[in-house]
Amino acid sequence: MTHDQLLWGAVTMLMKQHGEDAPRKVAERIGSLAVAGDMAGVALWKDIARRMDMMMRSAVQ
């Protein structure tokens, strides 16, 4: 499985688990990682957030 596939899988899981609250959960995670100084984690979760935004936008169209 590629890194890209893993990230899309994470987005799908988050959407199923948290529904409409998923973007807030991702934002909270990014904030927690930033406070902890984990910039690699922040970058990873921002990538997840971008993919989630793409998925949500495509579902609306």
Residue in this structure with the two tokens 């990230």, named with its chain if needed: 7
Q: What is the pLDDT along the chain (61 residues), one digit of tens a residue?
A: 999 999 999 999 999 999 999 999 999 999 999 999 999 999 999 999 999 999 999 987 6
Q: What is the pLDDT of residue 59?
A: 81
The model's pTM: 0.91
H or E segment to which residue 14 belongs:
helix 3-18
Is 7 in a helix, a strand, or coil?
helix
